[in-house]
Amino acid sequence: MTSTATDQGTAPETTAAQSTAAGVDPVTVEIIRNALNSAADDMNATLIRSAYTPIIYECGDCVVALLDADHQVLGQSAGLPIFLGNLETCTRATEEQFGRAVWQPGDVWILNDSYLGGTHLNDVTIFGPVFVGDTLVGFTASRAHWIDVGSKDPGGSMDSVTIFQEGLRLGPQKLVSGGVDERAVIDTIATNVRFPYPTTGDMHAMIACIKMGEKRLREVVERFGLDTLEQARDEIFRQTESLERRMIAQLPDGVYAAEGVLDNDGVDLDTPVPIRLRITVSGEDIDFDVTQSADQTVGPVNCGVSQAVSALRVGYKLLISPDLAGNGGSFRSMTTQVREGSVLGARSPAACQWYFSHLGLLIDMVARALAPALPDRVAGASHGDSMIILTSGVDPRVNREFVSLEATLGGWGAWDGSDGESALINNVNGSLKDIPIEVHETRYPWLITEYRIRPDSGGAGRWRGGNGVIRTYQAQTDLSVSLWFERSRQPAWGLFGGDDAVGPEVVINPGRPDERMVLKANGLRLKKGDVVRCAAGGGGGYGDPLERSTDAVRADILDRYVTADAARRRYGFAE
């Protein structure tokens, strides 16, 4: 068993006067706090504005962070929550492998190993040290999805059974040494991917991003001094830890549990994959145990330990400290137990391409487990998965090979006091966006003929779950389609009497003689004119549907969130 643990000591309470006496005043702490978060935002803007592929510059499938010299998070941009507190694993792993002296000014490193970074090989991390004079003061890091890394199928495979089918796997190695490109490494990458020009373009956008972070962190050190920065950092961390401990202490001590299930692993389509969570609260400490989850699977739903820890941190943070920016003071009262060799703690050569499905499920399970203790803070489950449509082929308009990858929006769960939101990305992906229709049709040979809310897909309740969406694609040339839609066996559940949501549905050529339904598929060959209709699931309801006000149900019908027939069946609406 691998146990990821943090400091269990209780931080002493200090007043603003004590903080000033310690050498840093509250105003300076706040200026430095915001300077670090703004630096991360600058990094993220640099990456998105410089990227070559829509998955980054339109969808925002990326995240950045500033770290101190001890690999603790100083500031992290908005981005994918599933990378929360995860980028530092890459700098730590590099230092553990090569020693502290490996860090040199002007160096840039790269890593995408699924068992170190936790995700799939397409999620590439680029990072580097920050020096002021001869002193190592920290690190900057960025992670972004590369559209292709040389897997057996363009863009990624839905049916891979080993990591070696999933593309070029890089342990920590230098991209730049002392400001000079490592041409051998860059050329190796370029010759092992299908789209070297946009890939190396995204690579250099990530390098520009971490250089922006290096500049901003150096400016903070030069303005305030390293001693002041470190004292402010310690105070920021102390405040964060103290607030989190205070919130945990309000939970009744005890053991809380939840269980969920994935449809399958993408290869054995008949066998579900169980995920089990056990949460133990004791005073100011909280432990998350997923060791009873399924063994690693043949199909590509596995992830590395660090990514399971990140998912648990997201579930924790949603309930414990949603308003606090993540930093090195976060999660100090939280421990995690993840079993190596499990689907959440994969070992080589387990396939990891679609590592996120059980992570979205796990985040919802944290809320389900803690619902009895936090009824006013939890929500029904969300649609829960990225719901991927990946297409590839040759675009006849430019006679060039293409790969597109898009997540499909869905519904989020309702909570005490509000309906769930409709048409949002899943909780794993946070600020990720879908590709605008205009961009999609310009870049790829598809016509999007329908994009709308899917009525009745959210679970009924006193507070209604959010609805999913329907997005329909018509092929403008012969091409290949791969699909990864999840949570049909266990759609988003409701809480406290709220109904479960409707799960996903994908139909090829709806209404035609060759109509077929499929949720997961790899490399389906479609002809020009064929249609793919993707319908994402909704979120779970909250509370007894019969307690929903008549005015709210009437408004739902007018807004086309709920049909008149469903209003009669689910809410007893008689008008």
Q: State pTM to two decimals.
A: 0.92
If residue 531 lies in a helix (H) or strand (E), which one and from where to where?
A: strand 531-535
Q: Taking the CA atoms of the chain, what radius of gyration do you get in angstroms?
A: 24
The answer to whether residue 35 is domain-embedded is yes
285 in a structural domain: no
| 497 assigned to some structural domain | yes
209, 241, 273: which is the final residue of a domain? 241
| pLDDT given at position 77 | 81
Residue at a domain's end among 183, 210, 241 = 241
With respect to residue 307, please indicate whether it lies within any of the assigned structural domains.
Answer: no
Please give the full DSSP string across 62-74, using - where no structure is assigned. Answer: EEEEEEETTS-EE
User: In sequence order, what are the residues at sequence separation of 6 or more whose Cβ sits closer than 8 angstroms to the Cβ of residue 124?
Assistant: 110, 111, 112, 143, 144, 145, 146, 149, 170, 203, 206
The answer as to whether 123 is a domain residue is yes
Instruction: Give the N- to C-terminal CA distance of the chain in Å, as an integer.
Output: 58
Burial of 183 (0-12, 13-18, 19+ CB in 10 A): exposed
Whether 120 is covered by a domain: the verdict is yes
Q: What SS3 class is residue 137? A: strand
161 occurs within a structural domain: yes
What integer pLDDT is reported at residue 85 of this predicted model? 67
Cα dihedral 505→510→516→520 (10° resolution): -40
Nearby residues of 167 by Cβ (< 8 Å), 6 or more positions away: 121, 122, 148, 149, 150, 151, 156, 192, 193
CB 413 within 8 Å of CB 468: no
Please give the pLDDT value at position 84. Answer: 65
Domain residues for 63?
10-241
Q: Please give the DSSP secondary-structure letter assigned to residue 478.
A: S
Q: How many domains, the chain?
A: 2
Last residue of a domain, one of 241, 273, 297: 241
Taking only the tens of pLDDT, the chain with its 575 residues reads 344 433 333 333 333 333 443 578 999 999 999 999 999 999 999 999 999 999 999 999 999 999 999 999 998 887 777 776 688 999 999 999 999 999 999 999 999 999 998 899 999 999 999 999 999 999 999 999 999 999 999 999 999 999 999 999 999 999 999 999 999 999 999 999 999 999 999 999 999 999 999 999 999 999 999 999 999 999 999 999 999 999 999 999 999 999 999 999 999 999 999 999 999 999 999 999 999 999 999 999 999 999 999 999 999 999 998 888 888 999 999 999 999 999 999 999 999 999 999 999 999 999 999 999 999 999 999 998 999 999 999 999 999 999 999 999 999 999 999 999 999 999 888 888 889 999 999 999 999 999 999 999 999 999 999 999 999 999 999 999 999 999 999 999 999 999 999 999 999 999 999 999 999 999 999 999 999 999 999 999 999 999 999 999 999 999 999 999 999 999 999 87
Q: How do beta strands 520-526 and 479-484 pair? A: antiparallel
User: Bridge partners of 505?
Assistant: 535
- Confirm if 537 and 504 have CB atoms less than 8 A apart: yes
What pLDDT is attached to residue 72?
95
Q: Is 291 inside any structural domain? A: no
